[in-house]
Chains A and B, each alone.
Chain A
Amino acid sequence: MGNLTPELAAFRDETRDLARSYGLDFYEVIFELVDYDELNMVASYGGFPTRYPHWRFGMEYEQLSKSYAWGLSKIYELVINNDPCYAYLMRSNSITEQKLVMAHVYGHCDFFKNNSWFANTSRKMMDVLANHGARIRRYMDRHGVEVVEDFIDVVHSLDNLIDPYSPFIRRDDGKKRVDDEAPREVKKIQAKDYMDRFINPPKFLADQRKKQKAEDERERRFPPRPVRDVLKFLLDHAPLQTWQHDVLAMLREEAYYFAPQGMTKIMNEGWAVYWHSKLMTRHLCDASEIVHYCDTHSGTLATRPGQINPYKIGVELFRDIEERWDRGRFGPEYQACDDPELRRQWNRPTGLGRERIFEVRRIYNDVTFIDEFVTPEFAEDQKLFVYGRNAQTGQLEIVDRDYRKVKDQLLNALTNFGNPIIRVVEANYKNRGELYLQHDWSGNELQLEHAQMTLQGLQRLWGRPVHLETMEGGKGRLLSYDGQQSTMKEVTPSKGGQLAVGKEPEPS
């Protein structure tokens, strides 16, 4: 049950009871007291000391250790989404810091348990990952370390190609269409006979037929619809050996487990800061500790001009929401009011603030959180701005303080955790079993050199040539790797389900 000193255990109990009294709801939390080296070690494994062996954890460890040794960074807290939650405390922290970290951890644990984006994550991940570790070790014994490691490298370089919403939606209806079905009749909108020709006019029916034909056409394609979960697609259709299949499945499961943490970074940290600051300043800190607490706390919230600190933005947004709902600054009437002075003065006490933030922590993720709650007033109070590079001076400059621009930029960076969205659109490209991926163009170019190298890995899994369509400098680009060489061609971007197939210039 952890290894806290009696003193810390008493603080833990106090903090836990306080947190409960405010309505926080969490799995049991087990605190482990560790020294800096153990903490760096656990952190290198993403919190799971029993994970499979891989050199990148060693690399992470070296970087963390060096950066700690040079005094550049220090990990305060590490908490694992699991039932029970595991949290690590650094032994050398002062008592005040330990109290703060414990309060912070209870915030995270409440968030893990209650935020709906975590609803489908395994709460026995400690065990799951330990099992994965054991299985991968066994494969290494059987097939050789380098073979398995190589494969893991490839999968890891693809593991951002998942569909973070798929645990919540069924992407296909599971129905298999059979070819020899009788031609389907176009669905009419129900109407009485005498109304039929008005409600289902011939033009409408013709459109419907056309639509259906296109759909049938698409059904014959493989895959019928673009697939965002590229890992799943490979799992189902790539020619893998049994052990490779198993490793891919395990790493995909891990990627899905970690995904919600990436989707809720701002909210999760904001929520934890909100609660540590509430519990510390209202209850846990005594007078002798308050300066030390403030010093640590403000360190966490420090902002640098060119960056957004998720802790800061998160907690400020939660506080803003609480205040707005306390003062009734919501609803159609408030929304419609465009007198800034009036909005600033708006106060119709409702006392709904606390309830509202609990609700927000349950159903939002970073994208919806920012989209819905960053208001003009908030952007102004927080002095948010958009910056860009001045082409002449090469310097970063403040471009705009308009809250819509700020929000756009933030959302852009948060979408799909800042990763490009890439889909499998055709797995039988040129009727030669070649894999065709398409980058969902959002205005940001890919790093093409990396993309080429990633394709090389993908080709090894797929076995046949692979292609990626993207844009560069306003022009369509088709990157390909056929197992021997990487090429890049200019293509007309594909439109409306019609691939750049055939439109590409003939290779010279």
Chain B
Amino acid sequence: MGVRRIDQDHTRFRQIVRGKIKQNLRRFVSSGELIGKQGQKYVAIPLPQIALPRFRFGENKKGGVGQGEGEPGQPVPGQDQDGQGQAGEQEGQHVLEVEVPLEELARILGEELELPNIEPRGKKNIRSAAGRYTGISRSGPQSLRHFRRTFKAALRRQISSGTYDPDRPMIVPIRDDMRFRSVQTREVPQASAAVVYMMDVSGSMGREQKEIVRIEAFWIDTWLRHQYKNLEVNYIVHDAVAHLVDQHTFFHLRESGGTKISSAYELCLQLMRDKYPSSEWNIYPFHFSDGDNWSSRDTERCVELLKTSILPETNQFCYGQVKSAYGSGQFKKDLDSAFRSEEKVVTTDIPDREGILPSIKSFLGKGR
């Protein structure tokens, strides 16, 4: 049958989708609208701009005609489940959502930001299982049927049971003769990575600041997952003390109080020592804060920790300073002056949502 027409049109559609995503990437990133729409492998991207525009009526129509029970004044039943009557002015307008594999999204991000692929450091690989269809089994789906083996088995059976006639070489496989390709698992060296997100949750970090961190973390995750098959993510929050928390807490917790950044770095270091020996893991600590540290003595302690213990074990250390309602603090400057010649330390300023993309670019742009 060759390539079917619909496959060509479908491919073309996917190309156009890809183009639209690329065009609108900046908007997707700064609005954060993709977060929460990702599944295991796919993310649902709303792309109303892909539908061709037409002259048509808006949705402020006077209503419609329905069929069923009820008195005038009663609500039309069943309106909340099926998108018929969502609140907001956009209701009823079917917004097209296109599913895109996360891999693809990462690739688009990579192309847009011109991110280099990461080269895993040294031989820090672990072994994991990968499957290839090199085995043979007696059961399986028809699509994996191995013709030659099946006929061989049938031939062998017919010869041994004496039903094979060389003059009329008819071979009829029965169920027992069926052979199927099957997966053989195999150990493959695989690079693994651990990400440690640290966030300042002191009183000065507001909701918007956390949202920015969340969006940035989503995109960094997407990229690193694309680069490493095996990625583990850890979350640390800190004010004057640091805690290891789960993802939900990380993004929703609101603390107040002072800021002692070193507490987070200490916890991070401990985590690295306990779980992620640098001989086997590529480690990426990311720290987000508004830059107001407790004291310059604590900042010195942070620099000390980074220099002696954290940096030698990691691929790269990233610090993003999110501007809060109280302005931007001193911490970034301190780091910059302490690590002027250290390539492994990357710091960025994130004044607002527009700053997310450039920040991601500097964090991931080095290919470490």
* Contact pattern, B 113-146, Cβ under 8 Å of A = 1, otherwise 0: 0000000000000000000000000000000000
CB of B325 closer than 8 Å to a CB of A: no
CB of B9 closer than 8 Å to a CB of A: yes
What is the CA–CA distance of A44 and B10 in the complex, to the nearest angstrom?
Answer: 10
CB of B77 closer than 8 Å to a CB of A: yes
CB of A291 closer than 8 Å to a CB of B: no
Contact call B12/A454, Cβ cutoff below 8 A: no
CB of A303 closer than 8 Å to a CB of B: yes
Within A243-265, which residues are at the interface with B (CB < 8 Å)? none
What is the CA–CA distance of A111 and B230 in the complex, to the nearest angstrom?
Answer: 60
A82 CB to nearest B CB, Å: 19
- Residues of chain B contacted by A304 (CB below 8 angstroms): 66, 68, 78, 82
Binds B, one of A10-18, A396-404, A487-495: A396-404
Contact call B5/A305, Cβ cutoff below 8 A: no
Complex: chain B residue closest to A152, CB-CB: B52
- Residues of chain A contacted by B50 (CB below 8 angstroms): 59
Within B38-79, which residues are at the interface with A (CB < 8 Å)? 50, 52-79
Within A380-435, which residues are at the interface with B (CB < 8 Å)? 382-390, 393-401, 406, 409-410, 412-413, 418-420, 422
CB of B37 closer than 8 Å to a CB of A: no
Q: Tell me the interface secondary structure of chain A in the complex.
A: mixed
Within A279-318, which residues are at the interface with B (CB < 8 Å)? 303-309, 312-313
Complex: chain A residue closest to B62, CB-CB: A388
- Residues of chain A contacted by B67 (CB below 8 angstroms): 303, 305, 307-309, 312-313, 382-385
B65 contact from A413, A443, A468, Cβ within 8 A: A413
What is the CA–CA distance of A500 and B208 in the complex, to the nearest angstrom?
Answer: 48
- Residues of chain A contacted by B79 (CB below 8 angstroms): 305-306, 395-396
CB of A58 closer than 8 Å to a CB of B: yes
Contact call A55/B84, Cβ cutoff below 8 A: no
Given contacts A160-B54, A303-B68, contact A396 B63 (CB under 8 A): yes
Contact call B66/A385, Cβ cutoff below 8 A: yes
Number of A-B contacts (CB under 8 A): 193
What is the CA–CA distance of A238 and B63 in the complex, to the nearest angstrom?
Answer: 38
A419 contact from B14, B16, B53, B56, Cβ within 8 A: B56
- Residues of chain A contacted by B9 (CB below 8 angstroms): 44, 53-58, 61
Contact call B56/A53, Cβ cutoff below 8 A: no
Contact call B6/A41, Cβ cutoff below 8 A: yes
Contact call B65/A384, Cβ cutoff below 8 A: yes
A397 contact from B57, B62, B75, Cβ within 8 A: B75
What is the CA–CA distance of A47 and B75 in the complex, to the nearest angstrom?
Answer: 39
A386 contact from B10, B16, B65, Cβ within 8 A: B65
Contact call B12/A55, Cβ cutoff below 8 A: yes
Binds B, one of A96-104, A213-221, A445-453: A445-453
CB of A444 closer than 8 Å to a CB of B: yes
* Contact pattern, A 41-67, Cβ under 8 Å of B = 1, otherwise 0: 100110001100111111101100010
Contact call B65/A385, Cβ cutoff below 8 A: yes
Given contacts A58-B13, A395-B85, contact A409 B62 (CB under 8 A): yes
CB of A153 closer than 8 Å to a CB of B: yes
Contact call B52/A306, Cβ cutoff below 8 A: no
CB of A157 closer than 8 Å to a CB of B: yes
- Residues of chain B contacted by A156 (CB below 8 angstroms): 52
CB of B99 closer than 8 Å to a CB of A: yes
Contact call A62/B10, Cβ cutoff below 8 A: yes
Contact call B85/A305, Cβ cutoff below 8 A: no
- Residues of chain B contacted by A89 (CB below 8 angstroms): none
A168 CB to nearest B CB, Å: 23
Given contacts A41-B4, A55-B16, A306-B84, contact A398 B65 (CB under 8 A): no
Contact call B53/A453, Cβ cutoff below 8 A: yes
Complex: chain B residue closest to A44, CB-CB: B6
- Residues of chain B contacted by A161 (CB below 8 angstroms): 55
Complex: chain B residue closest to A413, CB-CB: B64
Query: Looking at A58, A308, A401, which has the most chain B CB atoms within 10 Å of its CB?
Result: A58
CB of B11 closer than 8 Å to a CB of A: yes
A446 contact from B57, B66, B77, Cβ within 8 A: B57
- Residues of chain B contacted by A305 (CB below 8 angstroms): 66-68, 70, 76-79
- Residues of chain A contacted by B308 (CB below 8 angstroms): none
20 examples of A-B residue contacts, CB within 8 angstroms: A55-B16, A58-B13, A160-B54, A304-B82, A305-B66, A305-B76, A305-B77, A306-B66, A307-B64, A307-B67, A308-B65, A385-B72, A388-B63, A394-B85, A394-B87, A396-B85, A397-B74, A419-B55, A419-B56, A445-B57
Q: Other CB < 8 Å A-B pairs besides A385-B66, A386-B66, A454-B55, 6 of them?
A: A58-B13, A158-B54, A383-B67, A384-B66, A386-B63, A387-B66
Per CB-CB distance, the 10 closest pairs between chain A and chain B, nearest first, are A388-B63, A58-B13, A58-B9, A453-B53, A58-B10, A447-B58, A305-B68, A55-B13, A396-B76, A55-B12
Question: Using a CB–CB distance below 8 Å, which chain A residues touch chain B?
Answer: 41, 44-45, 49-50, 53-59, 61-62, 66, 149, 153, 156-158, 160-161, 303-309, 312-313, 382-390, 393-401, 406, 409-410, 412-413, 418-420, 422, 439, 443-448, 450-451, 453-454, 457, 468
Question: Using a CB–CB distance below 8 Å, which chain B residues touch chain A?
Answer: 4-6, 8-16, 50, 52-79, 82, 84-85, 87, 93, 98-99
